[in-house]
Amino acid sequence: MAQPKGFVDVINPDYVCHLHKAIYGLKQAPRQWYNTLTAHLVSMGFKHSLSDPSLLTLVYVDDILITGDNNTLISNIIQQLHQHFNMKQLGEVHSFLGIQIERNPNQFFLSQQNYAASILEVAQLSDCKSLANPTCTKLPSNFSADSILGDPTIYRRITGSLQYLTLTRSDISYSVNLLSQHMHQPLPQHIYLLKHLLRYIRGTINYGIPITKSNLMLSSFSDADWAGDPTSRKSTSGYCSFLGDTLISWTVKKQMMVARSSTESEYRALAALTADVVWLRRVLTDFGIQQSAPTDLYCDNTSAIALANNPVFHARTKHIEIDHRFVRDHIYHSTIRLLPINTVDQPADIFTKSLSTPRFQQLRSKLSVTPRPNSLTGDIRTIAT
């Protein structure tokens, strides 16, 4: 730290200001707030999660969400926080960080309808005709100009906003990932695909994901599209995880290296999913949800499954040795169990490629992305400081 230029104390030029409290808006202010809050929560008996140190409760700038199955304990925690912090209790949660939360005794429904509407308003597509598919399997030969989306700044702004929308809309993850790869220089075909996606969102603006009561066993699905990028020939990994019937995690990502075979691309996706499953199991343990059995990982590539279960290492697979040993170790220690699945039943297929509308809608239902129910009710509370 140093004294600001033009305000240097001539007598004591090496002195700096000693702040008795953090100034809101400085770079260190969020960190100081986090340290102050977590120190108090720890003094109340909370413990940091080993898998995620911020798991005490979800802290985002100045909004706090407290949840649990003991209303009396929740009320006591809120009263203790009131004694140390200037807070306002907002009651049962209906919206948190742009996510609408609707409730009934057996289900929570998460959606971002208002947020999606604001994106469409920026693109001036609030009243556009809707489409049934966020992507298209064949691009037209000619692209008409778009005065709004044709502006690279607007393209980047909307695409960045769509990344946040994928928090409750796993069905658009592949499309958003594809558009995000061309933020630096969007071409006419990318502007066309962005408008196509926005028209799909217009028709499914009330869609979201339900959280339902079911068993608490973790299961995951992995898929890859070998050499799907026509320019770089890199593959796309896609995987998702369910806790019972509830979708809790999903990822779409282009692989870092060019795969020499479909088996290699599928195996790299399996290795990435295995790492994610290991982390999810640790987080679930922090919540008191023990996974007593190995987590089932479903893959539609029999060669990748055989490679993972085969202890003999072949010369043809030397280039994926690290991933091979990583997956093999977790199979050996019963962390995961690899199982085959028919490609037709593979829900992760929606994360790796453009699909026909019937196929897309079939997989969307498997991910439980559905329209918002008419009425719901429940018990989670929000606090604002």
Q: What is the mean pLDDT of each run of 10 residues along the chain (385 residues)?
A: 82 83 71 81 75 58 73 84 79 85 86 95 93 91 88 94 95 95 92 95 95 92 89 92 94 90 90 94 88 94 86 60 81 92 94 94 94 58 47
- For residue 380, the model assigns a pLDDT of 47
CB 94 within 8 A of CB 88: no
Which residue intervals of the chain bear CATH 3.30.420.10?
A: 214-363
- For residue 381, the model assigns a pLDDT of 47
CB 304 within 8 A of CB 223: no
Geometric angle at alpha carbon 218, from 214 and 223, rounded to 5°? 120
- For residue 73, the model assigns a pLDDT of 85
pTM confidence score: 0.77
Domain 214-363: what homologous superfamily?
Ribonuclease H-like superfamily/Ribonuclease H (3.30.420.10)
Q: At what angle do helices 302-309 and 262-286 cross, to 10 degrees?
A: 60
Q: Is 121 exposed, middle or buried (0-12, 13-18, 19+ CB in 10 A)?
A: exposed
- For residue 55, the model assigns a pLDDT of 65
Neighbour-count burial for 184-213, b at 16+ CB within 10 Å, e otherwise: eebeeebbbbbbbbbbbbbebbebbbbbee
- For residue 382, the model assigns a pLDDT of 46
C-alpha–C-alpha distance, residues 116 and 108, integer Å? 19
- For residue 60, the model assigns a pLDDT of 45
- For residue 384, the model assigns a pLDDT of 47
What is the DSSP code string of 253-312?
A: EE-SS--SSHHHHHHHHHHHHHHHHHHHHHHHHHTT----SPEEEEES-HHHHHHHH--S
